[in-house]
Amino acid sequence: MFPGGFSAGDEPDGSGKFIATAFRNPKISDAVNRLLKERDGLALGICNGFQALIKLGLVPYGEIVPQTADSPTLAMNNIGRHISKSVYTKVVSNLSPWLRKAELGGVYSIPASHGEGRFVANDEWLSKLLANGQIATQYVDENGNPTMVEQFNPNGSYWAIEGITSPDGRVLGKMAHSERRGTGVAKNITGEQNQLVFESGVAYFKD
């Protein structure tokens, strides 16, 4: 699991670049690819971890590969600064084992905290991700509709995309912090906050 956090500061390509550089070591890269291709393993990246997955190619390609000029990426928020707020995210695909216990079509209130969370891709990639079921979650308004309105999609992600997966779903990258929850956390925020991401991951290995 690639966590979020400011291990290299919230600079352009900060922690994501830092993590990705380490994981491009041939021995580590080979081990990760074997985990996913030969051992039926899972990988998850949240916030800066999502940035690392994108830079490594683990999403959307499903393996560690070089990025190309047209590869999807995560860019600076439209507002040009860090945002920290709860967002509504909707599960629009259950391709990923990480979301099997989440309600398909369910809307969850999840904390978001990032400076570079705007998902960017060309039309060809967006259509491909949609057709493959690789768009896992989207930013939505209070009625559950994907939106580009800043209040609900604070970074301006294309097609309101909050999370994507690898082609087989076993790698999930998302911006909002599904791990930031607990009995005393965000008690003033309404809506379901438990996306059951980690419970789903555990169930995958038990089944």
**Cβ-Cβ contacts under 8 Å for 171 (sequence gap 6 or more):** 36, 42, 43, 44, 45, 53, 58, 59, 62, 96, 165
* CB atoms inside a 10 Å sphere around CB 153: 26
- In the residue annotation, 179 being an active-site residue is answered as yes
Asked if 114 is an active-site residue, the reply is no
Active site annotation includes 177: yes
Cα separation, 5 vs 114, whole angstroms:
9
Give, rounded to a whole angstrom, the gap between the first and last alpha carbons of the chain: 20
The catalytically annotated residue of 47, 114, 116, 162 is: 47
Choice among 63, 82, 103, 179 that is catalytic? 179
Residue 199, burial from CB neighbour count under 10 angstroms (0-12, 13-18, 19+):
middle
Gyration radius of the chain's alpha carbons: 16
From the list 114, 116, 162, 177, the catalytic residue is 177
Enzyme catalytic residues? 47, 177, 179
